[in-house]
Copies of this chain bind each other. A is one copy, B any other.
Amino acid sequence: MTTDPAHPDHPGDQDWRETLRARGLRLTPQRELVLAAVRELRHATPDQVHAHVRARSEAVNLSTVYRTLEVLEDAGLIKHAHLSDRAPTYHAVDDDHEHFHLVCRRCKKVTSVATGALAPLNETLRDRYGFVPDAAHLTVFGTCEGECCPDEHDHD
């Protein structure tokens, strides 16, 4: 890697400009705002990103949010996962902290887990099926057994 992170929290805090430029894409305030929103919200639907951006009194059109999310994802700056049966949620890409998600059907809690936990599965899938998972896109639904979840009957 030849990246030179200016800030520790986002390995590419300045880089996103480079990344977009390198692809011949333009740097617009809308793109900066959407990226910032995704980073701040951690896990946000297009609608939530839109609301967040507008809350800062910066009016950005919803369709621009959709187009921008697509652009940023193509550029590898963000990724999406499906944390509910409805809208997708976007999160910033951080190569040093790649993770996937656990979603509890009971308490709806979302837990991020380092992709390292998938190593054994990756190996099995590669060996048996020649398949290489996109770990960061993975969402595992299930239930947490902890105190967070009152032990009610399991209804989806």
Interface hit among A14-22, A37-45, A48-56, A127-135 = A127-135
A74 sits at the interface (CB 8 A): yes
A140 sits at the interface (CB 8 A): yes
Q: Count A interface residues, CB 8 Å.
A: 35
When distances are taken between beta carbons in the complex, the residues of chain B under 8 Å from A137 are 141
Report whether B146 and A142 are in contact in the complex, using a CB–CB cutoff of 8 Å.
no
Report whether B131 and A111 are in contact in the complex, using a CB–CB cutoff of 8 Å.
yes
A102 sits at the interface (CB 8 A): yes
A60 sits at the interface (CB 8 A): no
Knowing A137-B141, A141-B134, A142-B133, the reply to whether A117 touches B111 (Cβ < 8 A) is no
A88 sits at the interface (CB 8 A): yes
Interface hit among A1-9, A61-69, A118-126 = A118-126
Cα–Cα distance between A70 and B121 once the two chains are bound (Å): 31
When distances are taken between beta carbons in the complex, the residues of chain B under 8 Å from A146 are 130
What is the minimal beta-carbon distance from A125 to any residue of chain B, in angstroms?
Answer: 7
When distances are taken between beta carbons in the complex, the residues of chain B under 8 Å from A71 are none
Report whether A125 and B140 are in contact in the complex, using a CB–CB cutoff of 8 Å.
yes
Additional A-B contacts beyond A111-B129, A117-B124, A121-B121 (8; CB < 8 A): A82-B82, A102-B131, A118-B121, A126-B145, A131-B140, A134-B141, A134-B142, A138-B141
